[in-house]
Amino acid sequence: MRVGLIGYPVRHSVSPNFQQAAFDALGIDATYELWETPFDRLPGVVASLREPDCLGANVTIPHKQAVLALVDWIDPTAAAVGAVNTIVRESGGRLLGYNTDVEGFVRAVEYDGHLDLSGRRVVMLGSGGAARAVSAAVVGRRATDLVVAARHPDRADDLLRDLSQRGFTDASDIGRVTYLDNRDGALERAVRECDLLVNATPVGMARHAARSDDPSAGPVHSDPAPTLLVRPEWLTPRTLVCDLVYNPPVTPLLRAARARRARVLNGLPMLVYQGALAFERWTSRPAPVDLMRRAAMEALYD
């Protein structure tokens, strides 16, 4: 059997390392592959998941929203978020779309970041598929304030409106939108006052960076020192700074946060938790989460 990661780019991913370790540990005859998929190839790659030798796939940047139209059924969380990150093939070739990012993010922040999201003030950078999952998690755990900072605030407005219309009724009440360029000082004020700052853009990713938080933006080679989306002096020790980028393990944002004595969390815990939830969807077996985490860390640090 085969299963893989659909995205562009995906060469940096450690998902094969920890997913394959889980398959092998449980004696499941499956191979986890990387499927580099430009937009023009996406329909064909998703259609190939219907073959009998396929368990399904993970989906990453920039395809989490585009695959909504290519699967046969979408679970309520994925529908509410408007993004799919896990596809499961049913017998007969029917494709089911799920979103495990929401619960993966909650577990990462609460278990590894030791921060209860309830009653917290949150600032999120970005408005793409990952940002939609983070927003849903934050609203669902009853944060009191969510500021979404984006290069194109109309997309952030769409994000909050979609969440409100799809059942996350608090999204329009607690959500606010501002510009990433801090043109009116609103982003600086929000960051200085927040309990949790989340980078939900690919900025800082090893070997690649996004041209913008536009999910349709293609990859470009990153600078040796990518521009930070927030200024280091805005960060305070009271804030947990979470960067969904996990490669490199310490991004420029996290390095700046450490220098300011803020607590930090990279994207690896969320990656492992969402991957473990996907593994359970594909196999109907409990995922060996600790083993998967060790395999992911070995792949990153070796």
Q: What is the pLDDT of residue 98?
A: 97
CB 182 within 8 A of CB 108: no
> 3-state DSSP call for residue 125?
strand
Q: What is the pLDDT of residue 227?
A: 57
How crowded is the C-beta side of 63, counted as CA atoms within 13 Å? 29
Enumerate residues 6+ apart whose C-beta is below 8 A from 83.
64, 65, 68, 99, 101, 129, 130, 132, 133
* CA–CA dist 131, 159 (Å, integer): 9
pLDDT band for position 211 (cuts 50, 70, 90): very low
Q: What is the pLDDT of residues 52-86, one digit of tens each?
A: 999 999 999 889 989 999 999 999 999 988 889 99
- Residue 226 clears pLDDT 90, i.e. is over it: no
In this predicted structure, which of 1-5, 59-63, 234-238 has the lowest mean pLDDT? 59-63
Average pLDDT, the chain: 89
Give, as one character, the DSSP assignment of residue 102. Answer: H
CB 197 within 8 A of CB 191: yes
Mean pLDDT of 124-147: 90
Q: What is the pLDDT of residues 238-256, one digit of tens each?
A: 999 999 998 888 999 999 9
Choosing from 19, 49, 55, 64, the catalytic residue is 64
Enumerate residues 6+ apart whose C-beta is below 8 A from 261.
237
- In the chain, the percentage of residues whose pLDDT exceeds 70 is 92
Q: Sign (positive/negative) of CA torsion 191, 113, 219, 279?
A: negative
In this predicted structure, which of 196-205, 222-231, 242-251 has the lowest mean pLDDT? 222-231
Mean pLDDT of 156-166: 85
CA distances from 197 to 97, 149, 173, 193 (A): 28, 11, 19, 10
Q: What is the pLDDT of residue 207?
A: 56
- Residue 222 clears pLDDT 50, i.e. is over it: no
CB 214 within 8 A of CB 201: no
- In the chain, the percentage of residues whose pLDDT exceeds 90 is 68
Map out the domains of the chain with their CATH numbers.
2-99+269-301 (3.40.50.10860), 102-266 (3.40.50.720)
* CA–CA dist 258, 280 (Å, integer): 35
Q: Is 93 one of the catalytic residues? A: no
